[in-house]
Each structure stands twice: as C-alpha cells, then as structure tokens.
Amino acid sequence: MSPDVIDEALTLLRARYIFPEKAEAAAAAIRRRRQAGDYAGLDEPRLAERLTAELFEVCGDKHLRVRVRDAELHAALTPQEMTAAYREQVRHANYGIARVERLDGNVGYLDLRQIADASAGGRAIAAAMELVSHTEALIIDLRRNRGGSPNGVTFWLSYLFPDDETHLNSIYDGESGNTRQFWSLAWLPGERYLDRPVSVLTSEVTFSAGEEFCYNLQAHGRATLIGQTTRGGAHPTEFFPITPTLEITVPVARSVSPVTGGNWEGTGVVPDVEVPAGQALATAYRRALEHVLTTSAPASVLAEARSALNDPAAAAAA
C-alpha cells in the first residue's frame, strides 16, 4: 500500500477533525507505526481496519474510521449527483420507515431504521405520523436505527411538541466556528402527537442521529426510553475519498444539548427502563396497554387493551 494513501488520510484528519489536538496525536501515532513497518503489505481492507482501530485507540470516536467503498461511490460525482444518489437510496429504503402499525388497544407503532433528511423524507414522515395520530399511546422503535440527518430528527420530533419553542439540539461546526440551533417547527403537515405517552425502544445498535432522537426526547422529558444503552456517537460526520475505493469518515462537528450542555458521545444514551433489546417492545407495549385502560377510550378499544394485556404471548410477539 502506497504511503500516499496514509498521508492523504492523515491530511484530511488533521484538516477536518472537530478535535484538532486529538487529530495531531492520532496522526503522530500512525506515522510512528508506519515508520516501524506496521502497514507494509496490507491491502486496502486490512489497512482500513488497522487505521480505524488505531484512530479509535487515540480518539475514542466511533464515527472516525477508514473504510472501503464501492468505486462508483467515489467516481468524480458532483454534489448534485451525490444528492440525487442519496435521495434514491433513501427512497428505496422508504425513508427509513420500515413499519407503521396500529396495535390492539389502539397503540401506535413506528419502526424507524434510518432518519431521512427532511427535504427528502418529509412527506413520508408526515404520512407515518398521520397513521398513528389518533392512537392512545405511541411506541417508536429505534433498535435498528444507525443514524441519518439532524434536520430529519427535528422534523420527526416536532410532532411531539406543541409549538416552535422547544430548543432540541445545537451543533457546533469546527471549520466555521458557528453553532446551529435546531428548534421544533412552527408548522407541520398533519396533527401533532401531544398529551399522550411516547416510548422509544433502544439497543446497542442505535447510533448517531438515532441517538439524538432518543437524547433530545429524554432531555425534555417527552418520552420513556426502554431497552439498552445506545452505541455512543454524537459527532456529525463527512466522508472524504482517499482512493477510488477507500474513504475516511471524519467528525466535523459536535452536538451540544441546550438542556444538559453535553451529549452522548462515548457514553451512549442510557434508557429509563433497562431491559434486553429483544424484550423492549413487549415491555413498552404492556406499559402502553396499562395506560390505555386509564383513559376514556371507547369500550371497544378498552376491550382490545384488556384482551392484549391478558395475553402475554401476544404482547411478547408484538
């Protein structure tokens, strides 16, 4: 492997990483290992794996990594082509919405695998929220959510707050020195989901923007998190090509909660109710059904809730 590949990776790291001192320390460590011959004879996949491990050893940042990509993804695409490719990818993934359902007892369920940019996924997000808008309680499943867009998080969460007066998150950009604030939106297509309980399911897989979704709701006391502590990545990232098939992902910004003053980097988001991820849905569904029985829902809904609550097998299979 050419030394130029490592030099290019380190140049990008030092120029763009949100923590310059850590970037310098990591670059120095990797140069020492290169001089010792540690990377001699490694092909791209093995070099990517080794560099990622060494970057994590110094920086402890799960967004900071070197990885192999298909050549087409780095083939001289213009920003417009990159945007079009992204929109096509999220369209085929249904904008991250894997499942929308009304469970027995009039409990809403959303399975979100990705947080789409609001400019691409806004209509789908609005449609999903419309389908659960008249439920008595809502479960949002982020156990397989690996991230996405901060403005997508804002769009989703705005349905759970009454107006535009909730400061959800801020992101500090290292290159410009500017801080962008993300507030709940003043207007949304469809109804907001207010005055009803929301549970969010988490796992060790939940990452990045999926974690922001959890952290913001928990910080504002708007949802109960059920499951496992999340993976722990709070730094917005950009991807930079090193070769046609190799790239480095570099965190270029960091999240700052207006409530806590910090974020979930390295620690993950700790759930309010800790259970194995595989039991999180059954636990949340049981809690939701218990809530339904305290409401003035129609008799048919209350009967559904009682039946579901008295059938542990059905709840476990939810």
- Choose which CATH entry (3.90.226.10, 2.60.120.460, 3.40.190.80, 3.40.50.880) describes domain 93-233+268-317: 3.90.226.10
Of residues 289 and 240, more confidently modeled:
289
Q: Work out the pLDDT band at 313, boundaries 50, 70, 90.
A: low
Instruction: Determine the pLDDT at residue 2.
Output: 58
Amino acid 317: pLDDT: 64
Task: Quote the pLDDT of residue 243.
Answer: 87
- For the cut 60, the answer to whether the pLDDT of residue 102 exceeds it is yes
Distance CA 240, CA 246 (A): 9
Whether 71 shows a pLDDT value over 70: the answer reads no
CA angle, residues 74, 212, 14, in degrees to nearest 5:
45
Alpha-carbon gap, residue 200 to 189, rounded angstroms:
22
- What is the pairing mode between strands 137-141 and 198-202? parallel
* Region 193-201 average pLDDT: 98
| Token pair listed for 170 | 């801020």
205 has pLDDT over 60:
yes
**What pLDDT shows up at residue 79?**
67
Give backbone dihedrals phi and psi of 49, rounded to 5 degrees, phi first.
-65, -45
End-to-end CA distance of the chain: 50
Kindly compute the dihedral angle of the four CA atoms of residues 51, 55, 56, 57, in this order, to the nearest 10 degrees. 100
Domain extents for the chain? 3-63, 93-233+268-317
CA 185 to chain centre: 19
pTM equals 0.93
Q: Does residue 209 surpass a pLDDT of 70? A: yes
